[in-house]
Amino acid sequence: MSDAGAPLARTPLWSRHLDAGARLVPFAGWEMPVTYSSILDEHRAVRTRAGLFDVSHMGEIRLRGPGALELAQALFTNDVAGAEVGRVRYGLLCLESGGVVDDVTLYRTGASEVLFCVNASNVAADREWMREVHARTKSRCEIADESEATALLAIQGPAALEIVARLLPPGFTRPKLWHFADTRLGSLPVLLSRTGYTGEDGYEIFVDAARAVALWDLLREAGGERLALAGLGARDTLRTEAAYPLYGHELDREHDPIEAGLERFVAFGRGFTGEAALRARVDAGPRRRLVGLVLEGRQVARPGFRIASDLGDGVVTSGTFGPTVDRSIALGYAPAGLTAGARLHVEIRGKHLPCEVVATPFYRRKRG
């Protein structure tokens, strides 16, 4: 969290956003575009064509040195050593209690090097946590926060691969899903990662902050009318339909990955911090679980709204009107034991609105 009143940080693309008529809002200490015109239009563009996002507020922290993998594994719930160079993995950084410090992607960038891509709101807390764990493991490596020098663009949607392909060197084989490559787009050196946060295929592209504007312009030119600019508003509706957690909503230090339904990103037996607590949570069974809800009407269940069920109360963590699924959808913590099909209520402004527990994601793209 940023200090109240502290000046907002600007990404290298700030003036491009202004020129494009963006509505800029404070987000995690940054002044970020929430939308350029219509959140729904931007959402639909990403589902049907392609959207370009500036997500340079995200942080990048590199571990480098002979002990880098050891420290990474002491921090990261997913398997580090099994991730070959060129591979991306999603996982959590956990406290001893199992509570989540952050949810991150790990890039295996070298034999003795990894890069964590972390949430903007957590860069400082992550850095501090990494140093704390480092002091314990005494791994021979350095921790370098490269957030300021690094910009991150995301191009997402069914046309994203084709648009980027026009800019790649001849003969370059595009990375498979959850893989990345160091390459060039036009003349610009980038780290091209086949990942995203929208439920669509596409790339996240790391680039030197000094080259961010050039890359933005290059992608827009290659994309033409098929490529819409998309802001954080659409990013949120897209990730909610895909049921991806957002730190500060579904995840925080009081919730663990098992409750959040992220077991598949927890590789037991590797010795990460919090492993014992998560093992105990699995064995005992969590008392609350993150569930997907579909509401009957079009009213939106906002974070903090109460969930009422026969088994007890819960709380909504994210909710929106899902433009593609065309339903009011929400994520929230509810008593364990509520399975798909269970009927319950969300309390919205004093009214109890019926909803149903559904399997997530709400939206799943058709794979071509």
Partner 1 sequence: MADHEYEIPDDCQYTESDEWVRVDGSIVRVGITDYAQSELNDIVFVELPETGRQLEKGEAFGVVESVKAVSDLLAPLAGEITEVHGRLSEHPEWLNEDPYGRGWIIALNPEDLEALDSLMSPAEYRAHVKARAGK
User: What residues line the site for partner 1 (CB under 8 A)?
Assistant: 21, 23-24, 34-35, 38-40, 233, 236-237, 297-300, 302, 320-321, 323, 328, 349
Q: Are 87 and 99 within 8 A, CB to CB?
A: no
If you ran DSSP here, which 8-state letter would residue 78 be given?
S
CB of 328 to partner 1, least distance (A): 8
Judged by beta carbon, residue 41 or residue 263, the one nearer partner 1 is 41
How far apart, in whole angstroms, are the C-alpha atoms of residue 256 and residue 251?
Answer: 7
Q: Are 183 and 168 within 8 A, CB to CB?
A: yes
Tokens of 290: 């993150």
> What is the side-by-side order of every strand in the sheet holding 100-110?
88-94, 100-110, 113-118, 59-64, 142-145
Pairing mode, if any, of strands 23-27 and 30-35? Answer: antiparallel
Judged by beta carbon, residue 21 or residue 285, the one nearer partner 1 is 21
Contacting residues for 31 by C-beta, under 8 A, at least 6 apart:
8, 9, 10, 14, 24, 25
CB of 349 to partner 1, least distance (A): 7
CA angle 183, 223, 51 (to 5 degrees): 90
Q: Are 344 and 308 within 8 A, CB to CB?
A: yes
Judged by beta carbon, residue 138 or residue 349, the one nearer partner 1 is 349
CB of 225 to partner 1, least distance (A): 21
CB of 321 to partner 1, least distance (A): 4
CB of 216 to partner 1, least distance (A): 20
Rg of the chain, C-alpha, whole Å = 20
CB of 42 to partner 1, least distance (A): 10
**Strand, coil or helix: what is 177?**
coil
CB of 297 to partner 1, least distance (A): 7
Judged by beta carbon, residue 36 or residue 76, the one nearer partner 1 is 36
Judged by beta carbon, residue 43 or residue 127, the one nearer partner 1 is 43
Amino acid at the residue 236: D
Q: End-to-end CA distance of the chain, in Å?
A: 40
How far apart, in whole angstroms, are the C-alpha atoms of residue 207 and residue 82?
Answer: 26
Judged by beta carbon, residue 157 or residue 233, the one nearer partner 1 is 233
Judged by beta carbon, residue 99 or residue 323, the one nearer partner 1 is 323
Judged by beta carbon, residue 2 or residue 299, the one nearer partner 1 is 299
CB of 43 to partner 1, least distance (A): 8
DSSP state letters, 134-156: HHHH--S-EEEE-TTTEEEEEEE
